[in-house]
Structure 1
Amino acid sequence: MTKLNKDRLENYSRRSNAGAKLAKQRRESSISPLLNITSVISHAAALVAEADMATSLADCSITLSRRADGNFWTEGIRRQGTVPWGSDANYKVFRNVVTDYHADPTGASDSTAAIQAAINDGQRCGERCNGSTLKSAIVYFPPGTYLVSSTIRANNWPTIRAASSFVGLGVLSTNEYVGGTGPDGGDAEYYVNTARFYSQIRNLRIDIISTDPNAYVCAIHYQVAQATSLQDMELIATTGTTQQGIFSENGSGGIMSDVTFRGGNFGFCEIQLLTIICSKHTFTNSFGWMVAISNLVGYPDYLGLGMGLSLRIQGGDVGICLVNPDGNGNIGSVSFVDSQITGVTTAIIVSPISSSPGSGTTGLILDNTRIGGPIVDTAGSSVPYSREQSLLGGRVDGLDSPPYFERKKNQYANKPVDDFVQLKTLGARGDGVSDDTAAIQRAF
């Protein structure tokens, strides 16, 4: 597993354009395969995880207790949701991993199979399915700690804790690899990144400290398309190991906000982004943000676009790296706004600055950003950057320039269930056929 994970991080999957050349291009790109986690491997890892936990409990090195339940409205509200085009009237939209699928919130027993069952239930998108919008689901983790031993394909935050016997690349993986070679010459998979729309991961803490420190395990293996988001997450790894926060090797876009990265080899590694917005992230004692742009297969002049807003990078060797390790690809425009990079040896690494699209770094914008280290290019030269003259002289009358106003997506975490109005309680059908105008008007 260590060799496969290491090879995949060094020989990652790249997003390709459609066309007759696709299979040949993927075969020639030498993409390293991932470990095919069979049921036998998964079961063995779970047994080892539970045995290790039992030993730790017997030695009194770990004390487990279920945290007090919060009053988050999403757990207590009456569930009336349906999927009108899913052809299954009994399809379960809301899935509680504890009450519905018997995951253990104390962390004493392995919960991998239960969590996977909550994700898969109802014959959702599976083998030979690239993606689906007909069977959406909400997989809910009540407060607690959940022990997992292999990749999950998929107020008081729950914690997912990877066991020392963990097998796989990412604790959470948004794509499923099934072994063998797919029709495009790459890994056989479903939930492909280019069809991964409308997915959200929120309010989770993922702890990978106990995993093999040399196995390149990631908290999240993240491959998505548009209308996707990560929000309110904490990813915990050990400094000085190969453990990673987020490894995003292909895909095209998304929004991430309020994610805290602690320790590990790097916090967030983005390969081949098209457009991504990161807001209010904190990186502590890790290689912060690595944007490794690689040439999009079929588009040699491909440029990446991104923005970081209110980032806080503290400690580590390098704050931000905007260079692809294999030397291919270029940054089109990346902006860092209202951010801070402190306690690092090097603040930002870029390719040599160039005004010609398709070569070097063509756009790096630092707006109201504190840099506590040098900006250097791959040739070893320090990169000078200009500042507005009005900031360098005496006091100049003018408007204040506070940080941009921000407000994250509201989850109404402090609202009781009684504050919510449900359309179906007021007579709406929600089947996509009936006229629900009157019921919706009553709600307003």
Structure 2
Amino acid sequence: MRLVSTLLAAASIVATVAGYWLEDIPHQGFAPFAGPNYPVFRNVKDYGARGDGVTDDTAAINAAINAGNPCNQGCASSTTTPAVVYFPAGTYLISSSIKPAYFTQLIGDASAPPTLKATANFAGFGLIDGNPYYTETLNWKAVNVFFRQVRNFVIDTTAIPPGTAATGMHWPTSQATSLQNIVFNMPATPDVVHVGLFIEEGSGGFMTDLTFNGGATGASMGNQQYTMRNFKFNNCKTAVYQIWNWGWTYSGLSISNCQIGIDMSAGNPSKLEVGSITLLDSTFTNVPIAIKTGWTSTSQPPTANSLVLENILLNNSPIAVQGPNNAVLLPGTAGSTTIPAWAIGHLYTSSGGPVDLKGVPLPPNPRPAALVGPDGRYFTRAKPQYESLPASTFLSVRSFGAKGDTAADDTNALQAAIDTSVAQGRVLFLDYGLYRVTRTIRIPSGARIVGESFPVILSSGAYFNDMNNPRPVVQVGSQSGQVGRVELSDFIVSTQNAQAGAVCIEWNLASPKGDPSGMWDVHVRIGGFTGTQQQVGECLKEPGNAAVKPGCVVAFMAMHVTRKAAGLYLENVEGVV
């Protein structure tokens, strides 16, 4: 379900040009089920990558990814082998695809994002190929590829001839995945056929702060559903080509000097491929056709090509929405105008429906003051990466004795680490591990916690196993309405064995307007993975038997936002059951 619409091996500490903390701190992440000496953190330069823009770094980068034999080619899925593959600043020349493993994060220096630059004779489907076609099918079923991230890169295909097919990134994945802070640089010549981002399958995730320069298509995408915000497209022939979808949300797009902004006309009137697009708070500048649709009053299926626009600014975009046969469904302007709200599709109201909307203006949805920023757009904030902070600002949970092995009771160590980090004004680094806790972990106001490749806070024991007396595993703020602010990112809350009274996250804080608390890439995962003691062997299905086994009731609730809590910003927060 979705709640809303990251033997002890110490990595080497190396000198850094940009001063990014991830490179400078000792990494002590421990993957308890990955085998001895498994490296959670890998710096690609430790595996021979040079980043000098001259050396072919392909083999070295893939060696870093595959160290310790993580789940890659031929592996159906596994979250026992997590990895953070870190790229210091530099230009990494590559001649074939980088292929990240399952449960792997590729992270560039956030203060000076590294460049992945293709050679002129590059061979592969994407400089980053997130799900390769090793055979005629994808390596992983695209709807089951979870818990992966790529952030802080420049992906450059400009050395590949413009008329040669090239893809910056191939990313058919599903929920609990994210892309952040990536620039795609492609040729901007009339003969260019390059594509920045290509997705043909999957079941959604999140993307933010992506920029596309040049190319035939900035982003060509087909997936069940996605939420994407703060994309910039400059000098693309087509900014977005929507291959297919069920439902898609774009917010904060900025499309400039492209021939077509969003093309959602895939298919034909008897079988349109795109379900719906919701576009919010976006700008088209010098775009002759802002949106191209295949919708007609008789197109099939009847709900296909549904389109909702809200707060859309046009600057010299003469056609806002174009239908088949160049029909103008919504005129634009040679000057500047704002579309408050407009829609094609089926409208349901409190009095029933559907009402067939054949391209009509609507009153925009009311926006509560708490949800908007000073510009009138919905409030958004990128996940903090703390790139300006020195390594001395960070405090490791391992320095307090936490084991993260699923067996030791880490309650006291984890709580002491949180309390100390807040008292000292430092950021708590949750090294990878599965931290078993037997009492509530309390996160006070002022906490900043960031995980390494999705460590897990894992409740266990009788304290959380009373359905009639539910208790939080992680409690943010001691009581509902307590004033304060926290930042949480890149970790998971889960349960071990029977936990009938476990409320995985309880949120009590009330944060001030304009400076909310936030959770980014924080997920609740209930059962089904090694270490939970809640897999198929423990809870077999019994067809025809409706009785619930007490030992298989593994949580009371994923997340409880209490009555007086306020000012909480959630981004890419998932409940995975």
Give the TM-score normalised by the residue count of structure 1.
0.75
**What do residues 274-310 of structure 1 show as CA deviations (whole Å, max 9, x unaligned)?**
11111111000111111121xxxxxxxxx62111111
Question: What percentage of aligned pairs have identical amino acids?
Answer: 33
Structure 1 gaps of 5+ residues are: 1-66, 180-186, 294-302, 391-399
1:379-398 residue pairs with structure 2 within 5 A? 379-384=325-330, 385=342, 386-387=360-361
Paired amino acid for 2:411: T
**Residue 275 (structure 2) pairs with residue 319 (structure 1):** no
**In structure 2, the residue corresponding to 1:190 is in which secondary structure?**
coil
**In structure 2, the residue corresponding to 1:75 is in which secondary structure?**
helix
Which of residues 2, 8, 22 is equivalent to 1:74? 22
Displaced runs of 4 or more, over 6 A: none
Residues 311 and 93 (structure 1), Cα distance of their counterparts in 2 relative to 1, 3 Å cut: same
Residues 360 and 218 (structure 1), Cα distance of their counterparts in 2 relative to 1, 3 Å cut: same
**What do residues 67-112 of structure 1 show as CA deviations (whole Å, max 9, x unaligned)?**
97111110011111011222x12000111001x1010111111000
Give the whole-Å Cα distance in 2 for the aligned partners of 1:238 and 1:434: 54
Give the whole-Å Cα distance in 2 for the aligned partners of 1:426 and 1:279: 38
**In structure 2, the residue corresponding to 1:176 is in which secondary structure?**
coil
Residues 355 and 201 (structure 1), Cα distance of their counterparts in 2 relative to 1, 3 Å cut: farther
**Residue 224 (structure 2) pairs with residue 277 (structure 1):** no
Structure with more of its chain in helix, by fraction: 1
Give the whole-Å Cα distance in 2 for the aligned partners of 1:224 and 1:436: 33
Which of residues 76, 83, 96 is equivalent to 1:150? 96
Deviation at 1:418, TM superposition (A): 1.6
**In structure 2, the residue corresponding to 1:370 is in which secondary structure?**
strand
Aligned twin of 1:32:
none
Paired amino acid for 2:405: D
Aligned twin of 1:410:
384
Which of residues 411, 420, 424 is equivalent to 1:437? 411
Aligned twin of 1:57:
none
Which of residues 90, 93, 96 is equivalent to 2:37? 90
Aligned twin of 1:366:
309
**In structure 1, the residue corresponding to 2:53 is in which secondary structure?**
coil
Cα RMSD (Å) of the superposition? 2.3
Paired amino acid for 1:322: M
Aligned twin of 2:161:
212
Equivalent pair of 1:331/1:360 in contact (CA under 8 Å): no
Give the TM-score normalised by the residue count of structure 2.
0.58
Aligned twin of 2:505:
none
Aligned twin of 1:428:
402
Give the whole-Å Cα distance in 1 for the aligned partners of 2:329 and 2:33: 55
**What do residues 165-215 of structure 1 show as CA deviations (whole Å, max 9, x unaligned)?**
101121100113324xxxxxxx15423423211110000001100113222
Give the whole-Å Cα distance in 1 for the aligned partners of 2:185 and 2:267: 25
Deviation at 1:315, TM superposition (A): 1.0
1:16-415 residue pairs with structure 2 within 5 A? 69-86=17-34, 88-98=35-45, 100-154=46-100, 155-179=111-135, 187-239=136-188, 240=190, 241-271=192-222, 273-286=223-236, 287-293=238-244, 304-325=246-267, 328-354=271-297, 358-359=301-302, 361-371=304-314, 372-374=317-319, 375-384=321-330, 385=342, 386-387=360-361, 402-415=376-389
Equivalent pair of 2:201/2:224 in contact (CA under 8 Å): no
Paired amino acid for 2:91: T
| Structure with greater contact order relative to length (CA < 8 Å, sep ≥ 6) | 1
Aligned twin of 1:183:
none
Equivalent pair of 2:268/2:294 in contact (CA under 8 Å): no
Give the whole-Å Cα distance in 1 for the aligned partners of 2:19 and 2:47: 21
Equivalent pair of 1:332/1:357 in contact (CA under 8 Å): no
Equivalent pair of 1:224/1:251 in contact (CA under 8 Å): yes
> Which of 112-121 and 122-131 deviates more?
122-131
Equivalent pair of 1:353/1:360 in contact (CA under 8 Å): no
Residues 364 and 326 (structure 1), Cα distance of their counterparts in 2 relative to 1, 3 Å cut: closer
Deviation at 1:380, TM superposition (A): 2.5
Number of residue-to-residue matches in the alignment = 351
**In structure 1, the residue corresponding to 2:301 is in which secondary structure?**
coil
Equivalent pair of 2:272/2:300 in contact (CA under 8 Å): no
**What do residues 251-275 of structure 1 show as CA deviations (whole Å, max 9, x unaligned)?**
111111000000000100112x211
Structure 2 gaps of 5+ residues are: 1-14, 101-110, 331-341, 343-359, 365-373, 420-577
Deviation at 1:162, TM superposition (A): 0.2
Residues 332 and 191 (structure 1), Cα distance of their counterparts in 2 relative to 1, 3 Å cut: closer
Deviation at 1:353, TM superposition (A): 4.5
Give the whole-Å Cα distance in 1 for the aligned partners of 2:390 and 2:126: 35
Structure with more of its chain in strand, by fraction: 2
Which of the pair has more CA radius of gyration? 2
Give the whole-Å Cα distance in 1 for the aligned partners of 2:279 and 2:167: 25
Equivalent pair of 2:296/2:324 in contact (CA under 8 Å): no
Equivalent pair of 1:231/1:259 in contact (CA under 8 Å): yes
Residues 330 and 405 (structure 1), Cα distance of their counterparts in 2 relative to 1, 3 Å cut: same
Aligned twin of 1:396:
none
Paired amino acid for 1:266: T
**What do residues 381-403 of structure 1 show as CA deviations (whole Å, max 9, x unaligned)?**
1113544579xxxxxxxxx9811
Equivalent pair of 1:355/1:362 in contact (CA under 8 Å): no
**What do residues 35-90 of structure 1 show as CA deviations (whole Å, max 9, x unaligned)?**
xxxxxxxxxxxxxxxxxxxxxxxxxxxxxxxx97111110011111011222x120
